[in-house]
A and B are shown apart, each in its own frame.
Chain A
């Protein structure tokens, strides 16, 4: 079945450091890919998405490019802030659209001043 694999956390970075959170997927066809973020005490919220190969999703300084050749959708940010401390989830929506989102296990990011 479809699956998403994220790098294990937690990840701890200093403010203004470069962030990469790896995400790879297994799916048939052409899934849509998403990154969700969960801030402390809140539910998940959509951060960015990409719906076809080579698409780049971006939001709030975060970017991720849909790479079909490597089945990856790595999340990057050039300069993290303390306010980016949260749990980040990679997810995919199957080609058929008839099944719910498949989530990765989440990666906790802590940014220290």
Chain B
């Protein structure tokens, strides 16, 4: 149990579908993150939320839409994805100070067909 729970663990969707990834943490953290992990590529930071406010968007295409309704929950809404968006999507949380480590969920393995 990592303290950060992601659902679903696996998702297969067509390019015209709309789906959402969910992340939940009960560690009392105030920052939440979405990362994309593709084969043979570095870990890519997508979005950062700090006290529910988005503080970082690393030039992510608009077909990815994050939502953070409170400090414990984070969503990633997906629509009209491309096959190259297939990857492992990792959620993480932390306290917002310099030495606070990230706590990751086990990820959602997304396949776009």
Which A residues lie at the B interface, using CB under 8 A?
Answer: 32, 34, 36, 41-46, 49, 51, 89, 93-97, 100-101, 103-106
B42 interface residue per 8 A CB criterion: yes
Q: A103-B43, A106-B43 given as contacts; is B90 within 8 A of A44 (CB)?
A: yes
Considering only residues 69-98 of chain B, those with a C-beta below 8 Å from chain A are 90, 92, 97-98
Q: Contacts A45-B2, A100-B56; is A34 near B101 (CB within 8 Å)?
A: yes
A86 and B42 alpha carbons, distance in the complex (Å): 15
Most buried by A among B45, B90, B99: B99
* CB neighbors of A among B4-57 (8 A): 4, 6, 33, 42-43, 45, 48, 56
> Hey, which bits of chain B sit against chain A, CB under 8 A?
2, 4, 6, 33, 42-43, 45, 48, 56, 90, 92, 97-99, 101-107
Give the distance to chain A from B59, nearest Cβ to Cβ, in Å: 14
A93 touches B98 (CB 8 A): yes
Q: How far is the CA of A95 from the CA of B98 in the complex (A)?
A: 7
Main secondary structure of the interface of A (DSSP, over half): loop
Choose among B92, B101, B103 the residue with the greatest number of A CB atoms under 10 Å from its CB.
B101
In the complex, which residue of chain B has the Cβ closest to the Cβ of A102? Answer: B45
Contact B90 A97 (CB under 8 A): no
Verify A43–B45 contact, CB threshold 8 A: no
Give the residues in chain B near A103, CB-CB below 8 Å: 42-43
B102 to chain A, nearest CB (A): 6
Shortest Cβ distance from A31 into B: residue:
B98
- Beyond A103-B42, A105-B42, whether A49 also contacts B102 by CB under 8 A is no
Task: Report yes or no: B99 in contact with A93, Cβ–Cβ below 8 A.
Answer: yes
**Are A43 and B90 touching (Cβ within 8 A)?**
yes
